[in-house]
Chain A
Amino acid sequence: MSGNRHEPPRRRDTAALVIAAGLVVVGAVMLWDSARLADLGGYSGIGPASVPRVVGFALIGLAAWTAIEALRGDFPQRPPQNALPILWIIAGLALQLMLLHAAGFSIATGILFAFTARAFGKRNLAMTIPIGIVFAFVVWAIFSQLLMLHLPAGPLEHLVFPRG
């Protein structure tokens, strides 16, 4: 997904070659893992390693096919993409993941909310983070108190619902 996307068609497609390489890796991992399984085929003659092996070989075959299409430039043109909004969303998800247990659901998810809004054009984080935290807190209260879902509680949640 990187590199120059305004190439004329019918040229070597590097990104697609990277995909082909990735498929080879996944296929190879499947073959490597299935090799260490004891093959308890029993009556059927096929054991736990058989299906992963077939899928592994199939993925390597598909990788070869992908590489051929990539070299011939048969992959469809990709729409131009902006990297920045995508990174904002990924950063939001990563922060939520890291903060979830320390800061609780509302704060962690509020940050995700604000970062996503920023990716779509609401740039003022000073406004969107508080909105996100309040919204996430309302959602937390409904789902954890009424629907009995286990959602991690942090300082904010303990403040309002001392028994969490």
Chain B
Amino acid sequence: MSAFEFLMQGLGTAADPMMLLYALIGVTLGTAVGVLPGIGPALTVALLLPVTYRLDPAGSLIMFAGIYYGGMYGGSTTSILLNTPGESASIITALEGNKMARKGRGGPALATAAIGSFIAGLIATLLLAFLAPSIVKLALVFGPREYFALMVLAFVTVSAAFGDSALRGLTSLFLGLALACVGIDQLTGQARLSFGMPELLDGIEVTTMAVAMFALGEALYIAGQRVQVDDEVTAVKGSVWMSRRDWARSWKPWLRGTAIGFPIGAMPAGGAEIGTFLSYATEKKLTKHPEEFGNGAIEGVAGPEAANNASAAGTLVPLLTLGLPTSATAAIMLAGFQQFGLQPGPLLFATNPTLVWGLIASLLIANAMLLVLNLPLIGLWVKLLTVPKPWLYAGILLFATLGTIGANPSAFELGMLLAFGVLGYVMRLFGYPIAPIVVGLILGPMAEQQLRRALSISQGDWTTLVQSPIAAVLLGIAALALIVPLILRARGKGEMLSQLAGEED
């Protein structure tokens, strides 16, 4: 069957009323967390993992994907109206979007962000559907050594390539890898680093760690800030509709943003932010109204918003076809698949096509739902921004602990939550990135297993790792991604890299 037929079949699955309900819950929650500053899609999916234990796997995954897409939409609202990005992929939108809102053009800014997100989401999801089968075919020839090389590449790009310090990125990654070693070894059954505690034999729970890092760490950090920033919500004045001129100036940035965001999301480079920065730079260069940039240029909202949605869809390409997460949210979604005993990758397309194609098709539906949620209903989301901070964070902590207690109501697990929360706080305080430690914990055991398999096949010959051309090229890129930024920083050109820093979403 062709991708088109599979997609049609998937639409049949996704149009089931229950699935539509899951998608609707997902996009609504996603928009809400996108709008609220301080909580992102990665945290929300992590919070929901324990809650969805008993629910339908397909429905839960559709809901998670809806949260991811919704987060990308919702973030723009906060950026435009509050000048505080709701999540890291919307930082750039705040530059021009908030200026537009202050000039009374908040309506068109929200509209170009929402419509751009819709168009980018539509194109990128279709690209995902039509690319996935060929990547799956390619991935079927991948052996353990190619997978190992791919994971090494993901480790390097997530931790060391971007951000302001390779040292802190790598430290965060290796702490994650150290935590990944805890528990029973998958190949020999020996207990590692469990110190005689039975609770540790199963390893460190990914959701506990992710919730602690993202929710507790962030809450502690915000609570400790001496200067409390009081943000003011700029009211939306006038029509939310765009004028003819706005349309004329928006459609090209939308398409360019999609073209930039999708491949960047699909590459193991960690997060949607990079695409938004590149898109902004491109629009600034190509614009016919350079004087407006910095004072509310609509292109500067349209392009980056399209780019961040396209890269969210792009991240799903390696996640679904290779089982390789390239952002924190994708990493948590991988944990979600594993919770239901599913391993994303080429085999899943063969063994469970209904689920995979239902998921992809439901993204198209979720995208359409989001357009409705974000344009006519925008007033509702703006109200969310006025929830006072004490109630907001008290609620976040309540739900953060609820997830952990629901999964395992033991004092030990809550103690771990508290310990990782403090670790997350200290890491934030000292400028350590959070994504590498989470990716290290999730990918670490997989990378170790692939490495040991590859070496078993070659009977302990390490050169096998570079004898396959694909693996050699991937490892080569990984080495470059580690070394080039180090040289750039040493020469004092690190500023550009720290601007490209990947944050938690």
Binding between chains A and B: yes
User: Chain A: residues with CB nearer than 8 A to chain B?
Assistant: 1, 15-16, 19, 23, 26, 29-30, 33-34, 37-38, 40-49, 51-52, 55-56, 58-59, 62, 65-66, 69, 75-76, 78-83, 85-86, 88-90, 92-94, 96-98, 100-101, 105, 109, 112-114, 116-122, 128, 132, 135-136, 139, 143, 147-152
Which 8 residue pairs across A and B have the least CB separation, nearest first? Answer: A45-B460, A44-B455, A120-B390, A81-B224, A48-B185, A85-B223, A44-B456, A117-B390
Q: In the complex, A149→B223 CA distance in Å?
A: 30
Q: Contact at A48–B397, with CB atoms within 8 Å?
A: no
Contacts of A109 in B (CB 8 A): 398, 401-402
Q: Do residues A55 and B430 form an inter-chain contact, with CB atoms below 8 A?
A: no
* 20 A-B residue pairs with CB within 8 Å: A16-B430, A29-B193, A30-B178, A44-B453, A46-B455, A48-B192, A55-B178, A58-B174, A78-B431, A82-B223, A82-B224, A93-B397, A93-B421, A96-B401, A101-B411, A116-B390, A116-B394, A120-B222, A132-B394, A151-B409
* Size class of the contact patch on chain B: 35 or more
User: Is B398 a contact of A135 with CB atoms below 8 Å?
Assistant: yes
Give complex CA distance A47, B171 in Å.
Answer: 24
Query: Which A-chain residue is minimally distant from B226 (CB atoms)?
Result: A80
Which residues of chain A are near B51, meaning CB under 8 Å? 143, 147, 149
* B394 and A19 form a contact (CB under 8 A): no
Chain A CB within 8 A of B463 CB: no
Residue of A nearest to B414 (CB): A97
Contact of B220 among A78, A89, A118, A135 (CB under 8 A): A89
B309 to chain A, nearest CB (A): 30
Contacts of B389 in A (CB 8 A): 120-121
Chain B residues touching A, majority SS: helix
Across the interface, do A152 and B409 meet the contact criterion of CB distance under 8 Å? Answer: yes
Name, among B175, B190, B222, B397, the residue most crowded by chain A CB atoms within 10 Å (CB to CB).
B397
Give chain A residues whose Cβ lies under 8 Å from the Cβ of B397.
89, 92-93, 112-113, 116
Number of A-B contacts (CB under 8 A): 203
B170 at the interface (CB under 8 A from A): yes
Contacts of B430 in A (CB 8 A): 1, 15-16, 19, 75-76, 78
Is B426 an interface residue when CB atoms closer than 8 A count as contact? yes
Q: Is the CB of B181 within 8 A of A81?
A: no
- Measured CB to CB, the closest approach of chain A to B167, in angstroms, equals 5
A79 touches B225 (CB 8 A): yes
Q: How distant is the Cα of A118 from the Cα of B391 in the complex, in angstroms?
A: 10
Q: For the complex, what is the distance from the CA of A52 to the CA of B182, rounded to whole Å? A: 9
